[in-house]
Structure 1
Amino acid sequence: MAHGLVEDLGEKIRSQSLRPGDKLPTESAIMQAYGVSRTVVREALSKLQAGGLVETLHGVGTFVLQPRPGGMGGVFRLDPGEIATSVDVLAVLELRISLETESAGLAASRRTDEQLVAMRQALDAFEQNVTVGGDTVAPDFAFHLEIAQSTGNPYFADIMRHLGTTIIPRTRISAIRVQDGSYLSRVNREHEEIYAAIARRDPESARAAMRIHLTNSRERLRMAQEAAQQQKAKTEAAGNGAASSDHTPSR
């Protein structure tokens, strides 16, 4: 749904139905006009901002910018809405290993105390939601996005915002239904290792911790996919067996 909203608003900006300097409607107005949730609206606005089409001024509103070369509609064509298969998600994880490993190292060198506090808040929210069985995707993404923002290089955060929560494998693959405490606790421990290295301003350890985390994510995804395929094969075999017995002639 966010993808469709991005396309519609983006087209209005490119066609100059919305001109540079125009203020977008409020989140509530967009929700009502498109029949979508606030989460969808915010994700769409984040992607438009990452594409250089709008700018959000806190407490003021979101304004249309002059489209920049290479923004939405430029060369970069990675569409989050098309990341749907295990092959797609594994490919994105390979991209993330390269991107976020360096991002973590830069964050360890450049982060501010305020940014470290924001990372801590995201991890605390993640851990709390693991305990109560709540949403862990939003704080997971918030943690990784805060690291990208802490690099001081806006392009790291732009790519993260463009991908949105599609970077979290368990949001994209139906096989990832493992929301039990043990699975998420492992993810949380890996996050804590990354955080600890960034907190003590240790770039090499931060890079290593992020690489381990994303490599483990890739392996968890592969294992989940293999388990799903095995289960599917068993189900199909059982179904074929039942069908054969139904057609066995009576003696």
Structure 2
Amino acid sequence: MNSVKTLGEEAAAEPPRARRPRGLVPEIVASLETDIREGRLVPGQKLPTESELVGRFDVSRTVVREAISRLQASGLVETRHGIGTFVMAPRAVEPIFRIAPEDFATASDVIELLELRISLESEAAALAAQRRSGESLAAMAAALAGFNVAIHADSDAVPSDFLFHMEVARATGNRHFADLMTYLGTMIIPRTRLKTAASAPEGRLPYLERVHHEHENILDAIRRQDPEAARAAMRTHLSNSRERLRRAQPEA
């Protein structure tokens, strides 16, 4: 993988190498944190544009946006809509609420996050059913189509799974739901950390097809603008995820 470079370093030409998708966001966050803490980026200075960061790190816009969201959550930068993202002065104390990659070390950790998601995302689904637009319905449907293609292509379908939940959050019209999902990132999908699909008794594909069916139930309720059904479908889906994880990881 190409090493992540600070702003003060020139990128040496190297042949393409295989990348580790799950490590891209932390690498970018670490590089920009280093630039800030070592003074190459100072308080009040504007970060490079999204396009410049995409080119610098050779990643997608989605990866850059997730990295910026994590820097925002850490209090290192702030985004001023229509202007750009700026470095903030260091804070005296760490933010009270923080979920870091090391907080997903065990099955018990992932179950605790699922319990948090049950309360938050069930309400998000109900709000999405009340407020969804034709555009948001299309975005959710596209995410599910991508999920279905991925699971039949021997993929764990984590990106499209996360995208579906993100689109439900966006459909609420409340930016805080989407901001929280962006902050948490794909780590909220248990398969990111634990091989739940591969170890499922029924087999990988039937396991993921069941997940897909649960997603379809959520979308159907949102499409019908039935908040109670959407809330129940999301709660059922996340509760089932918790129980599937418990069965796959008995020590949890």
Q: Quick check: TM above 0.5?
A: yes
RMSD: 3.0
Distance 1:51 1:146 in 2: 24
Contact 1:20 1:63 (8 Å CA) reproduced: no
**How many residues get paired?**
218
Query: TM-score of the superposition, structure 2-length normalised?
Result: 0.75
Contact 2:156 2:197 (8 Å CA) reproduced: no
Distance verdict in 2 for CA 1:27–1:78, change over 3 Å: same
Q: 1:10-159 alignment to 2 at 5 Å?
A: 10=33, 12-13=35-36, 17-20=41-44, 22-24=46-48, 25-31=52-58, 38=60, 41-48=64-71, 53-55=77-79, 63-65=84-86, 67=88, 73-159=94-180
| Bigger Rg, structure 1 or 2 | 1
Gaps of 5+ in 2: 1-22
Distance verdict in 2 for CA 1:30–1:55, change over 3 Å: farther
C-alpha displacement at 1:168, in angstroms? 0.6
Task: State the AA in 1 paired with 2:210.
Answer: R
Q: Which moved more, 1:196-205 or 1:132-141?
A: 132-141
Distance verdict in 2 for CA 1:154–1:131, change over 3 Å: same
Q: Deviations over 1:133-171 (max 9, x none)?
A: 235111100000011111111111111111111111111
Distance verdict in 2 for CA 1:56–1:219, change over 3 Å: farther
Provide the identity percentage. Answer: 46
Q: Deviations over 1:82-116 (max 9, x none)?
A: 31201100000000001100010011111111011
Are residue 203 (structure 1) and residue 227 (structure 2) matched? yes
Q: Deviations over 1:63-89 (max 9, x none)?
A: 32364999x942222213431201100
Contact 2:47 2:86 (8 Å CA) reproduced: no
What SS does the aligned partner of 1:132 have? coil
Gaps of 5+ in 1: 32-36, 230-251
What SS does the aligned partner of 1:26 have? helix
Match of 1:3 in 2: 26
Match of 1:247 in 2: none
Contact 1:137 1:168 (8 Å CA) reproduced: yes
Q: Deviations over 1:19-48 (max 9, x none)?
A: 5462424312134xxxxx547545423433
Displaced runs of 4+ in structure 1, greater than 6 A?
none
Query: TM-score of the superposition, structure 1-length normalised?
Result: 0.75
Distance 2:221 2:150 in 1: 23
What SS does the aligned partner of 1:64 have? strand
Are residue 225 (structure 1) and residue 249 (structure 2) matched? yes
Q: Which moved more, 1:146-155 or 1:214-223?
A: 146-155
Task: State the AA in 2 paired with 1:100.
Answer: E
Higher helix share: 1
Contact 2:46 2:87 (8 Å CA) reproduced: no
Task: State the AA in 2 paired with 1:115.
Answer: S
Q: Which moved more, 1:182-191 or 1:135-144?
A: 135-144
Match of 1:183 in 2: 207
C-alpha displacement at 1:196, in angstroms? 0.2
Contact 1:6 1:44 (8 Å CA) reproduced: yes
